[in-house]
Structure 1
Amino acid sequence: MAGNFKMLAKTLYGFEPLLAKELRNLGASNVKEGVRNVTFEGDTGFLYKANLCLRTALKIFKPIHSFKVFNEKQLYRKIFEINWPEYFDVDTTFAIDTTMNSEVFKNSMFVSLKAKDALVDRFRQEVRKRPNVDSHNAQVRINIHLHENDCTVSLDSSGNSMHQRGYRIATNIAPINEVLAAGLLLLSGWDGRTDFLDPMCGSGTFLVEAAMIACNIPPNINREHYAFQHWLDYDETLHQKIVAASLNKARDFHHKIIGWDKAPSAVRKAQENIDNANLSEYIAIERKDFFKTEKPVEGKLHMVFNPPYGERLNIDMESFYGKIGDTLKQNYPGTDAWFITSNLEALKYVGLRPSRKIKTFNGKLESRLVRYEMYEGSKKEKYKIP
């Protein structure tokens, strides 16, 4: 299609198939999975829509030039040859991020500095003035990716990572990343067709992401800013049309989303974040100790939670994970229970056999998303032939 161009979306380990499915559902073409990324094609409106609507993407890059490079002089020349004033205004702040796997260049900071010199020199040649660098809050971000001698220069359309949805103001000791939470929910099969419970909800991230999936609300609807808004070709009218069209696809939700935590501070923070996300009508928060509860609804219940791993919260792992298993077994019939943990040893104490184990990462911690199917009655009864 005319006007289409290649883009690259970064994601977390193991989320590539989820992201590829999201992109196809949104209408992307030529979708191809990579390692922690997915490439695709679309037009400018689709770039806006991808930033607004993708739940499992961290960044959306728009590649603008690719070339071979064998030394630092070549790198400088190739970056200088890009007509940077076509992309952003000289009064706009910028930053350059480099990711690399190369025998030619050893230091990513050196590459970024060399590219910065070339970019500002090109501005000086064209407009007799140079833009300023702002490494923390740059209005425009540029990504340089070096793989051996292959260099790709991209505009980072997102700016801040897309896990920064804009609703989470208050956090606890060990908050879960919003993109990770959304991906885990999708891996668990959450689709909004049953009641949902997070019995250790912390600051409420699973609850908010679950509600947005259930209602088909764009995950970044509360975000105020994207880097593409500082590009010279930014079309505000088109952007607003994309936002309005995406919101029009929201759907009704006729079940309950419930969150519990035994810490009063967590309950307060979760409620604050839910209010910020404008989702209070869908989510009910209470102070409760999961180990003293019973299933709060009739029928099927979908449960996803993030228990302590013992990394930042000091607990007795054997006792704690044993209580998780006992509580599920005794009080939660008809429940599809999923949780993530990096403490693989602690899983032995649950005392139940998981029906699935999915490898993932929580930050740098290798983790498992595990599923326990708690049947109504015994498992034998479930499969009994009448």
Structure 2
Amino acid sequence: MQKTSKTYELFLSVTPGLEEFAKEELKELIRYEFFNTIEFNNEAGLLLKSQDLFSLLTLIKYLKIPTRALLRVEEFKARDLPKLYKKLSKINWNDYIPTTDFEFKVSSHNSRLFDDRKIIKAAKDAIADYQKAQPFKAKYNELTWSHPPIIFIRFEEDMCQVSIDCSGERLDKRGHKIFTAKAPMRESLGAALIRFIDSNEEKGYTLLDPMAGSGTIVSEYLFQDQVNSKRHYNFENFPLFRKQAAQKVNILNDEIQRKALANDINRDNIKAIKENLEGFDLEVTHGDFFKMEELSENNLVIACNLPYGKRIKTQKNIHEFVNDFYAKAQKLGAKSAYAVMPETFIIDKKFKAMRSQRINNGGIWVQFVKVSYN
């Protein structure tokens, strides 16, 4: 691990409501020897600090809950556009974005600089003049970016904070899910659900998603203990990262034998699941969950992203549908059943439901709801 006297900061953006899941994930990861140089500030959002840039950026590949990772490059005071241009032109952009194809996202709060168009023009001019004076090496023209680098410029009063997106595609775009279904579940939400289940169940349970769609829940369950090497991340193109000595990192081992079952009533979804999760210990069946026969699994946990009655409709009243789901799970011999559903859904008191905190799922506030049958 190569360290410098500079402390680097990495900010992780998380879906509202998933913060605690993300914090628990980070606490588990940074206890490993490879990442133990990383400081996690539990009081200032999901902010990581380290002098070991390689470890800090490599950690991104192990994260399941966050949606983006931003490397903070510089922070300075700027009250006018000439000062902004001057400060931006002094940043060593060749350390991060050896390309002329990049984008900007600007935000301003109580600042004298608030016009996005003028701010972006000053930033473009500053970077263009820097790259003209100090061209990046021709070999970097061959790099492939999953998404053009995004430069974030944020003003809080007169302070300007400059960050660069390390993700490329959102982090919940894992790279192994080729086919999707209608109203697909975000992988970050699925990963949080698995973390919620793992915290409430003994190890070694078999997971069944009876209305699996394209298989997000079972996918996150099976990939829970594995590093994501199925996709490219923009930080892998940063020359400052590439200069670090290549190091093999292998901290997540599938120590738990994970077995999953996936069922869906739609044949196209069944095909998608098989294509997306080929090679895993996964049994896939086609049929109506409410007509399934009792399963022989001794340690069965059922988990499902239930239809919300919006993009996907149900023939019966949605509250009746939810309670029928929990009743059927019990008949199938499950020890417990989990569902993702809007917080407004009504569950019969006989089920003694346990709810997670509220989660903003694309503008709909949902919760993870557990029902035990012990």
Q: TM-score range by the shorter chain?
A: 0.7 to 0.9
Q: Which residue of 1 is the match for residue 268 of structure 2?
A: 265
1:127 deviates by 4.1
Instruction: Return the match for 2:39 from 30, 37, 43.
Output: 30
Instruction: Return the match for 1:18 from 8, 13, 21.
Output: 21
Normalization by structure 1: what TM-score? 0.81
Mapped to 2, the partners of 1:148 and 1:210 lie a distance apart of 44
- 1:245-264 alignment runs, 5 A limit: 245-246=250-251, 249-264=252-267
**Residues 16, 35 of structure 1: 8 Å contact kept:** no
SS at match of 1:162: coil
Q: Which residue of 2 is the match for residue 323 of structure 1?
A: 324
String of CA shifts for 1:230-264, please: whole Å, max 9, x gaps. 2222338845623xx24xx4225435311111111
SS at match of 2:277: helix
C-alpha distance 70-101 of structure 1, shift in aligned 2 (>3 A): same
Mapped to 2, the partners of 1:97 and 1:145 lie a distance apart of 8
* Pairing 1:115–2:115 present: no
SS at match of 2:346: helix
Q: Which residue of 2 is the match for residue 313 of structure 1?
A: 312
C-alpha distance 282-36 of structure 1, shift in aligned 2 (>3 A): farther
**Residues 59, 162 of structure 1: 8 Å contact kept:** yes
SS at match of 2:351: coil
C-alpha distance 348-86 of structure 1, shift in aligned 2 (>3 A): closer
SS at match of 1:201: coil
Mapped to 2, the partners of 1:364 and 1:109 lie a distance apart of 28
Mapped to 2, the partners of 1:59 and 1:40 lie a distance apart of 16
1:161 deviates by 1.1
String of CA shifts for 1:209-238, please: whole Å, max 9, x gaps. 10112xx211x2211x21122222233884
Mapped to 1, the partners of 2:170 and 2:151 lie a distance apart of 14
Aligned residues: 357
Instruction: Return the match for 2:222 from 187, 204, 211.
Output: 211
* Pairing 1:156–2:165 present: yes
**Residues 48, 239 of structure 1: 8 Å contact kept:** no
Q: Which residue of 2 is the match for residue 380 of structure 1?
A: none
Mapped to 2, the partners of 1:318 and 1:88 lie a distance apart of 51
Mapped to 2, the partners of 1:93 and 1:339 lie a distance apart of 42
C-alpha distance 169-298 of structure 1, shift in aligned 2 (>3 A): closer
SS at match of 2:177: coil
* Pairing 1:198–2:209 present: yes
The share of aligned pairs that are identical, in percent, is 23
SS at match of 1:326: helix
String of CA shifts for 1:102-133, please: whole Å, max 9, x gaps. 4544454553343222211222344499x99x
1:25 deviates by 2.6
1:179 deviates by 1.3
Mapped to 2, the partners of 1:93 and 1:253 lie a distance apart of 43
Q: Which moved more, 1:356-365 or 1:139-148?
A: 139-148
**Residues 206, 258 of structure 2: 8 Å contact kept:** yes
SS at match of 1:281: coil
C-alpha distance 188-111 of structure 1, shift in aligned 2 (>3 A): farther
1:148 deviates by 3.0
Mapped to 1, the partners of 2:20 and 2:51 lie a distance apart of 19
1:153 deviates by 0.9
SS at match of 1:165: coil
Letter of the 2:248 counterpart: K
Mapped to 2, the partners of 1:207 and 1:109 lie a distance apart of 44
C-alpha distance 99-179 of structure 1, shift in aligned 2 (>3 A): farther
Letter of the 1:55 counterpart: K
Mapped to 2, the partners of 1:21 and 1:41 lie a distance apart of 19
SS at match of 1:221: coil
Mapped to 1, the partners of 2:349 and 2:284 lie a distance apart of 26
Q: Which moved more, 1:26-35 or 1:363-372?
A: 26-35
